[in-house]
Amino acid sequence: MATRTVGVIGGMGPAATVRFMGRVLDLTPAACDQDHLRLIVDNNSSAPDSNAAIAGSGPSPAPVLAAMARGLQRAGAEILVMPCNTAHAFVGAILAVSDLPFIDLIEAAADEAAAQGASRVGVLAADGCLQAGLYQHAFAHRHLAPVLLEPRAQARFMTLIRAIKAGERGPDVREEMKRLTEELVGAGAQALVAGCTEIPLVLDPGDVGVPLTDSLDALARATIVAATRTPASPRP
Amino acid sequence: MATRTVGVIGGMGPAATVRFMGRVLDLTPAACDQDHLRLIVDNNSSAPDSNAAIAGSGPSPAPVLAAMARGLQRAGAEILVMPCNTAHAFVGAILAVSDLPFIDLIEAAADEAAAQGASRVGVLAADGCLQAGLYQHAFAHRHLAPVLLEPRAQARFMTLIRAIKAGERGPDVREEMKRLTEELVGAGAQALVAGCTEIPLVLDPGDVGVPLTDSLDALARATIVAATRTPASPRP
């Protein structure tokens, strides 16, 4: 079966990109190497921090993201993905320089959360992702009400994400992440979205008492569908 | 510190490429995303099987490897690596089309094995890798004697590698891999090289009674050194 080469705008963070690639592999039905999708990956962590850019305290990553998109298209990518939630605030810069189909992580995660049947869905996401309203917007289109952490808990979440990016994965980190999910459930969330790619590095679905959508897994599934989908035939 | 972008000729197999990327991340001292090396990765598993090509029963992967090398150089790679042992039989095709430094996995693994102080070193490697004499040649330059599986055990090893490539990682697979390492130790090996990137997916260093060099880890370490090395100053 002909498949389309996937271009991966990566590096935000680099560990999430590697995990995304691993999940695409795991979720692809394959009996031998040759059955796997072709991924061309730019695992480039030099893009300025999206959170600082959205807060107005740092430069925009948009030029780096656009350059990666152009480079991946030139290198042979036929569809594009970006395994980072917050960077989706800058998707416009990618769409402006590439005519390739872009498989949107936020849309993929919101679709999976909507399929859970809950109406109030908790979102664990970085400051910039929330300030840009990415999940709030995607949820509104699907008649889902977002449940967010109160500001002090959100600050604890950001501290935790920085620790995970620095390589911490120990029991303290895992316990704190679990507590934050419990705060969202306590605030009425009937399901959760792990809307930051570092979360699943320290949180298993079994740690949470409600359905948990892993945004990176949702993107992996949507990527496999998009890369293997037969283009629609023209109407008769 | 300025670093050099690493081009990864990947996909043979794709899981090994993902593991290589993860090991480069793990072994890079980094406090935040921006401290990590840039890797541009072509995880392309469409290259014909190297083992069949070396045995004369299938087409050569050389044109696909050369095309990946050219594409990665065009995309901005400054050094090249290939996280697959057997494909190193076709390194000539890469060096013929790219003038970038190529960090050789076989050399990196042989260097680490030599540093263990053993003189007889067992090699677990695919048929093609052994037929091409890659480790035998690298060992000869380092005054190491290779210890190989006898033919029937080598056939068991190849069956096992195919099972791992198809996703098997269970206790049976792990036990059989451990038995094969024991046969090499029984034949006099004082140290071992995991000379096939699938091996560490089912074998931990603690499973083996002698020092074990993971060829993929050796390449990850050599890659980090090469990408971060300050170019030598001209002699005064």
What pLDDT does B70 receive?
97
Q: How far B202 CA sits from the closest chain A CA (Å)?
A: 16
Q: Is A32 on the interface with B (CB under 8 A)?
A: yes
- Express each pLDDT in A128-152 by its tens digit: 999 999 999 999 999 999 999 999 9
Task: Look at residues A44, A7, A38, A15 and name the one whose alpha carbon lies nearest to residue A25.
Answer: A38
pLDDT of residue A171: 96
| Chain B residue with Cα closest to A44 | B38
Say if residue A229's pLDDT is above 80.
Answer: no
Instruction: Note the pLDDT tens digit of each residue in A150-176.
Output: 999 999 999 999 999 888 999 999 999
Average pLDDT of the residues in B205-229: 94
Portion of chain A with pLDDT greater than 70, in percent? 97
B19 vs A166 pLDDT, higher one? B19
Contact B175, B202 (CB under 8 A): no
pLDDT for B230 beyond 70: no
Query: For the whole model, what pTM was predicted?
Result: 0.90
Chain B residues within 8 A of A198 when measuring between CB atoms: none
Going edge to edge, which strands form the sheet with A212-214? A145-147, A120-124, A191-194, A212-214
Distance from CA of B161 to the nearest CA of A (A): 11
Q: According to the model, what pLDDT value does residue A140 have?
A: 96
Cα separation, B215 vs B23, whole angstroms: 11
Which of A36, A76, A166 lies at the smallest CB-CB distance from B32?
A166
Q: What is the pLDDT of residue B154?
A: 98
Closest CA to A167 of B44, B30, B182, B104: B30
**Average pLDDT of chain B, as a whole number:** 94
Are A139 and A118 in contact, with CB atoms under 8 Å apart?
no
Q: Does the distance separating the beta carbons of A14 and B18 come in below 8 Å?
A: no
Q: Would you call B42 an interface residue with chain A, using a CB distance cutoff of 8 Å?
A: yes
Residue A49: left if φ>0, alpha if ψ -120 to 50, beta else—which one? beta
pLDDT in tens, B178-197: 999 999 999 999 999 999 99
pLDDT at A1: 61
pLDDT band for A217, please (50, 70, 90 cuts): very high
Helices and strands (H, E) in chain A, number of each type: 10, 8
d(CA B61, CA B73): 19
Q: A190 at the B interface (CB within 8 A)? A: no
pLDDT at B1: 61
What's residue A230's pLDDT?
A: 59
Q: How many CB pairs under 8 A join A and B?
A: 111
User: Nearest 5 degrees, angle CA A85-CA A87-CA A91?
Assistant: 110
Asked if the model's pLDDT at residue B235 lies above 60, the reply is no
For A73, residues 6+ apart whose C-beta sits below 8 A from its C-beta are: A7, A80, A98, A100
Higher pLDDT, B7 or B1: B7
Residue A184 identity: L
Identity of residue B80: L
Provide the pLDDT for residue A33.
77
Mean pLDDT, range B28-34, rounded to an integer: 81
B24: which residues sit within 8 A by CB, 6+ positions away? B6, B37, B39, B220, B223, B224
Give the closest of A13, A15, A39 to B43, CB-based. Answer: A39
Instruction: Give the angle B68-B70-B75 at the CA atoms, nearest 5°.
Output: 90
Phi first, then psi, for residue A11 (nearest 5°) are 100, 0
Mean pLDDT over residues B16-37, rounded? Answer: 90
Say how far apart CA A34 and CA A36 lie, in whole Å: 6
- A21 → closest Cβ in B31, B43, B72: B43
- Nearest by CB to residue B13, choosing from A21, A33, A43, is A33
Determine contact, residues B33/A14, Cβ cutoff 8 Å.
yes
| The pLDDT value given to residue B236 | 46
Residues 6+ apart with CB under 8 A from A222: A103, A107, A108, A111
Task: Residue A33: list chain B partners with CB under 8 A.
Answer: 11-14, 45, 49, 165
Do A46 and B25 lie within an 8 Å CB cutoff?
no
Whether residues A41 and B45 touch (CB distance < 8 A) is answered with no
Give phi and psi for B174, each to the nearest 5: -65, -40
List B12, B82, B100, B196, catalytic entry: B196
Q: Which of A113-122, A162-171, B55-64 has the lowest mean pLDDT?
A: A162-171
Tell me, yes or no, if A232 comes closer than 8 A to chain B by beta carbon: no
When pLDDT is cut at 50, 70 and 90, the band that residue A236 belongs to is very low
Average pLDDT, rounded, for chain A:
94
DSSP, residue by residue, B110-166: HHHHHHTT-SEEEEE--HHHHHTTHHHHHHHTTT-EEE---HHHHHHHHHHHHHHHT
Torsion (CA) B83, B89, B94, B95 in degrees, nearest 10:
120
A50-95 tens-digit pLDDT = 999 999 999 999 999 999 999 999 999 999 999 999 999 999 999 9
Tell me the shortest Cα–Cα distance from B41 to chain A, in angstroms. Answer: 5
DSSP-assigned letters across all residues of A67-123: HHHHHHHHTT-SEEE---SGGGGGHHHHHHH--S-EE-HHHHHHHHHHTTT-SEEEE
pLDDT greater at residue A166 or residue B92: B92
Of B12, B10, B6, nearest to B198 by C-alpha is: B12
Nearest residue of chain B to residue A72 (CA atoms) = B75
b/e map B52-70, b = 16+ CB within 10 Å: ebbeeeeebbbebbbbbbe
Q: Is B84 a catalytic residue?
A: yes
Q: What is the percentage of chain B residues whose pLDDT exceeds 90? A: 87
Among B18, B165, B166, beta carbon nearest to A21: B18
Distance separating alpha carbons of residues A57 and A49, to the nearest angstrom: 10
The answer on pLDDT for B26 being more than 80 is: yes
Contacts of A11 in chain B (CB under 8 A): 33, 36, 38
Per-residue model confidence (pLDDT) at position B34 = 80
Q: How far is B155 from chain A (nearest CA, A)?
A: 18
Residue range B117-126: mean pLDDT, rounded: 96
**Beta-carbon separation of A36 and B11 below 8 A:** yes
Q: Under an 8 A CB cutoff, do B45 and A36 touch?
A: yes
